[in-house]
Amino acid sequence: MDFELTDEQRMWQKAVHDFVAAEVQPRAHETDETGEFNWPAVRKMGPMGMLGLNIPEEYGGAGVDAISAAIATEELGWACGSTALSIAAHNGLGTTPIVLYGSEELKQKWLPLVASGKGKLGALALTEPGAGSDLQGIQTRAVKHGDEWIINGAKMWCTNAIIAEYIITLARTATQDNPHAMSMILVPTDTPGLRVTPPEKKMGLKGSPTSAVTYQDVRVPAGNLVGEEGNGLRQTLATLDSGRISIGAIALGLARAAFELAVAYAKERHAFGTPIANFQAIQWMLADAATEITAARNLIYYAAWRKQQGKPYTQEAAMAKLFASEMGERVCRNAIQVFGGYGYSREYPVERIYRDARLMTIGEGTSEIQRLVIARHALAAD
């Protein structure tokens, strides 16, 4: 597959890169140090279409193709891992279920608001204290009572919860006919009984708030059901396929940033009377990084291409996420090695980038889960 970008995609890439280079990257260190979400930049993303990558134009979004969405996410990752993660979670997890499965009423009410930059963002709550990779283990329950859903339970590791207009919640909606049924339900964050905790203290991605969420007799209208009742698990898995392309793209952007910094430093840092770029040990690390970055980009673009062609892409998304996230960790680790002692200092961005990259092998399905997905497809092939 030839992934030569179209002229339109190249123009989009340049526009996004120029924007994040001016508005996001200069604040990346501050965002990490303070843990404050970069709202000033995010507000400006609405008119650009970056808050509605997957949202059709009739609902205020950009409705870009899947490769263009991956391009934007990569550029965000290059600029700031924290900002990239929140925007990717908003686009991939917080709006996609409404776009794909939501009623016309939900689309018209919520999508223009969260795409505009004038409101807050979208969020999706899946993980629970006792259920992460095993979504079958979730205990949060929603009971239909008249024209309302009543929700009780607890979620954790919910990206954007504290900066969200709503949280799409996966809950058990078991019936006598379907005792294992789960459904997605949209819960506005100002709903009584919903509590979002202060953000977790994390190793990296400190400017992307991650919170626990509790539901105590939370009541929302029956029309806040996203998709079909009992179809929530299938909808969630399909949403995660798309999200894995985004996580791979963030990892790619982080790796690219670390690589560019390592190349520049290797040229200017002298040892034994010559730039360290002249040493084979350094050259080999940079050569491996350049190769793996290119390979990851092609895997991501291929998965995105299959998505936009309407072809199955579960395995391809898992491959892209697995390789890109593990590649990102290696490249960022070696960038610190190129910098030596300076790379371990918080004064240099490679330290932050390395910490940010570490999550990518965990979020939206660990590397181990990706390998299970890939293996199942490989074993099922004729």
How, if at all, do strands 194-196 and 210-221 pair? antiparallel
* Residue 312 CB-density burial (10 A; 0-12 exposed, 13-18 middle, 19+ buried): exposed
Q: What is the predicted pLDDT for the residue at 382?
A: 65
Beta bridge partners of 152: 141
Instruction: Return the active site residues.
Output: 364
What values do phi and psi take at 271, rounded to 5? -150, 140
Residue type, 307: K
3 state SS of 157: strand
Torsion over CA: 234, 87, 204, 124 (sign): negative
131 vs 139: CA distance, rounded Å:
8
Q: Which residues contact 20 (CB under 8 A, 6 or more apart)?
A: 41, 75, 76, 78, 79, 80
Contacts for 375-378: CB closer than 8 Å, 24+ residues apart: 377/314, 377/315, 378/315
Token match 């990239």: residue?
Answer: 84
Tens digit of pLDDT at every position of the chain (382 positions): 457 899 999 999 999 999 999 999 999 999 999 999 999 999 999 999 999 999 999 999 999 999 999 999 999 999 999 999 999 999 999 999 999 999 999 999 999 999 999 999 999 999 999 888 888 889 999 999 999 999 999 999 999 999 999 999 999 998 777 878 999 999 999 999 999 999 999 999 999 999 999 999 999 999 999 999 999 999 999 999 999 999 999 999 999 999 999 999 999 999 999 999 999 999 999 999 999 999 999 999 999 999 999 999 999 999 999 999 999 999 999 999 999 999 999 999 999 999 999 999 999 899 999 999 999 999 997 6
Summarised one tens digit per residue, pLDDT across range 229-285 is 999 999 999 999 999 999 999 999 999 999 999 999 999 999 999 999 999 999 999
Q: What is the predicted pLDDT for the residue at 131?
A: 86
Q: What is the predicted pLDDT for the residue at 178?
A: 80
